[in-house]
Amino acid sequence: MRTFCPNCAERRPNDADHCDDCGAALERAPEDTPIGVVLDNKYFITAALGRGGVGAVYRARQRSMDRDVAIKVLAPERIADERAIARFKREARAVSLLSHPNIITVHDFGTTQEIHYLVMELIEGEPLSRVVAPKRPLPFARAVSIVTQICDALAEAHDQGIVHRDLKSQNVMITPQRGNPDFVKVLDFGLVKIFNADHAAALTEAGRIVGTPAYMSPEQIEDLPVDPRSDLYSVGVILFELLSGQPPFASDDIAATLTRQIHDPLPRLSAINPAVVLPITVDRFLERAMAKDPTSRPASAGAFKHELLELAKAVGGEESETLVAPLPYQVPVLPHIDPDEAE
């Protein structure tokens, strides 16, 4: 076991219980984890934050700046996987192009002792997918506030020629910042596509379905060219989820979800959750946002935001809250197709 002080970001003797310097209780971590290790002589890893298909995210202290950061580390079993490494580097380069309050900030990227890592701002908050829990919709005004911030983030990405391609409630963090308890941070640009670069073809997984089926646009599912309007479809799914309690075509059957995204008409909010009471104009907007034909959707993230705010003004006079009762069902755990594991 490693023994360390989480405050001082320093190793301590294994037989000690408290830090001699600051008096804090010491923590211990198994030797087979990076917790308690100094990465690249700069970042002292103090805790695990989460794990995904291609790696894990840790809390760390950046010694030179005396600040806490989040570090995404490529999984050890992926260090020889050229596709996973390319995807990892692509995410770092894409986010480094972006500068917006609603997009996570990247501080550093590097490789040391065969460890590929990405250093980002540490966000104290929770995923939007948990904000909807316990399986209850949000008030309409709150949903609009969150979604318009997502639109602002996408406008910056799209202006830089970047399509996210994996936008979902799990990849949106809600954190109290700038006097706003629902400040949005868009994360995880690991599936980005550079749509206005000459080398764009090299940055995609041709012939491979990538993303999260419940949030994917029909054109993305069918491996057709995608542009910013594909992200807007995903924003529509998120808005539907916030207002009803779940995505419209959610299922634990991946094939069924993909088929429904392509062919099925969008259900009414009340069909998913009968307790929701909102004007029909909200359903009409969602139908436009999630139109099967990309040309029928709002033309840009800015246009999506403008139309939604205009809708909110109109709805405000009729019904500004989503009326709900406890839902009689459990929202399924949504599957995700990892491009580095898809056959």
Q: How many helices (H) and strands (E) does the chain have?
A: 9, 14
Q: What is the set of active-site residues?
A: 166
Predicted local confidence at residue 278, as pLDDT: 94
Residue 54: pLDDT band (50, 70, 90) is confident
Predicted local confidence at residue 309, as pLDDT: 96
pLDDT above 50 (res 203): no
Predicted local confidence at residue 208, as pLDDT: 57
pLDDT above 80 (res 4): yes
Predicted local confidence at residue 339, as pLDDT: 47
Handedness of CA 175, 180, 182, 184 (dihedral sign): negative
Lowest mean pLDDT among 42-51, 80-89, 255-264, 277-286: 80-89
Residue 62: pLDDT band (50, 70, 90) is very high
CB atoms within 10 A of CB 7: 16
Closest to 216 in 3D by CA, of 170, 171, 262, 173: 262
Predicted local confidence at residue 77, as pLDDT: 77
Predicted local confidence at residue 25, as pLDDT: 92
Residue 251: pLDDT band (50, 70, 90) is confident
The reply to whether the predicted model has a pTM over 0.85 is: no
pLDDT above 90 (res 75): no
> Mean of the pLDDT values across residues 24-50?
88
297-309 pLDDT, tens per residue? 999 999 999 999 9
pLDDT above 70 (res 98): yes
Residue 327: pLDDT band (50, 70, 90) is very low
* Alpha-carbon gap, residue 337 to 343, rounded angstroms: 10
